[in-house]
Amino acid sequence: MNLVIDIGNSRVKLFLFKNDKITFRSLCNHNEFIKTLQTLPFREEIINVISSTVSVNYDDIIELNFKNSNYFKLSNKNLKLPFQNNYKTLNSLGQDRLALVSSAVSSYPQTNTLIIDIGTCITYDFIDSKNIYHGGAISPGFNLRYSSLNDHTSNLPLLEFKEIDRLIGSNTEDSIHSGIYNGIIAEINYHIEKLFIDYNDLNVVITGGSSKFLLNRIKNAIFADQDFIAVGLNYIINYNENR
């Protein structure tokens, strides 16, 4: 059994995989993480552990709680990845992006794939049909755009997300909603359209907590479930076990 841990900015997701199927999942806040680890079911059956983080590094805590398990660290330079990595600054490449690309390799092998993860940030990652990862782009997500308008101006209010079905806002609040919502849609569609010029068989996968806001708004895209990162992390375990 494999334990997969996806550590986000505000919450932590934990998954148990058995025969490549998710048999258990849990979601907790950071202040509940240690207790959640210690009360996981089937602890004695966990053979392998892997984690991905975009915030806090829990390596020491995880290793302490699973001394008898194999712990696969994405920061380990000897860890094998299921793709050729052509990213120039490897030390700054986010662990979540490594997991996303690995999931694409697992789910869509030998395919030109753009993975768009819509969370705190929006990340774009491209891997070609020859299994070469080229990199991508990073831009602010929904909440960052709302907060930045409030933080860096004197009069614009801090708003929460609202889906808007028109381009022209007739008041300040709707103008902000339109600028953010339609701006993100236009940005994503632009990335897709530009890549389609060079890769007309491009496969587009959209995932992440905020992807639900864009259903039916993005052309030619597959909306993956929220386990997409977890599937990639589990695939990295399997890939290294078979080496």
Given the residues 59, 60, 96, 174, select the one marked as catalytic.
96
Enter the DSSP assignment of 213.
G
3-state helix, strand, coil in the chain (%, to 5): 35, 25, 35
- Phi and psi based region of residue 189 (left: phi greater than 0; alpha: psi -120 to 50; beta: remaining): alpha
Question: Taking Cα atoms as reference points, which of 14, 94, 15, 52 lies closest to residue 236?
Answer: 52
- Listing from the earlier edge strand, what are the strands of the sheet with 84-85? 84-85, 132-140, 121-127, 113-118, 203-207, 222-223
Residue 96 is among the residues annotated as catalytic for this protein = yes
Cα 116 to Cα 187, 203, 207, distances in angstroms? 11, 11, 6
The catalytic residues are: 96
